[in-house]
Amino acid sequence: MPTTTGPSRRTVLCGLAAALAAPGALAACSSAGEFQPGTPTTTPAPAPGGGSGVPLAQVPVGGGTIVTFGERPVLVVQPTAGAVKAFDASCPHRGTPVDPPQGGVITCPNHFSQFDAATGAVRKGPADTGLTEVPARVVDGVVQVT
């Protein structure tokens, strides 16, 4: 006699989260590596002298923005006015794109790992390593990432 199985636990929980519309509840329902709805992304403009860049004015002081360079999502942050850093936007735990920083903390929406916005260092797991820094510089008011 054939047996049927019901929906997976994940399907039920994601359906329940959607029905309740709990903020952030759906973040863990997507596959690792997918962008979460509402994650700000920008396609960078051509930088002076070639390459790609994002205007510094689009990177808030004390915050950051996620931009796509080629196929790679990069989190560009400006911890203090004029100080710019860039990190691979993929969480080292499962590859989910992290959110731009709030209150000096970068958070992964999937499993809630936290990273220091100025250094990318891990503050709270499950990630056990920090974000990978990507070389960045400001040229003529444009943040260039290489």
pTM: 0.66
Quick one: pLDDT band at residue 145, thresholds 50, 70, 90? confident
Instruction: Give me Rg for the CA atoms of the chain.
Output: 18
Can you give the pLDDT at residue 68? Answer: 86
Are 24 and 38 found together in one domain? no
Query: How far apart are the C-alpha atoms of 47 and 55, rounded to whole Å?
Result: 9
Start-end of H helices in the chain: 9-20
Domains identified in the chain, total number? 2
Model confidence pLDDT, tens digit, residues 62-94? 999 998 877 889 999 999 898 999 999 999 998
Are 96 and 69 found together in one domain? yes
Are 21 and 65 found together in one domain? no
Are 24 and 62 found together in one domain? no
Model confidence pLDDT, tens digit, residues 124-137? 989 999 999 999 99
Are 69 and 18 found together in one domain? no
Query: How far apart are the C-alpha atoms of 131 and 88, rounded to whole Å?
Result: 6
Q: For CA atoms 135, 72, 99, 113, give the dihedral sign.
A: negative
- Cβ–Cβ under 8 Å, residues 53 and 69: no
Average pLDDT, the chain: 75
CATH number, domain of 118, equals: 2.102.10.10
> What is the span of the domain harbouring residue 6?
1-30
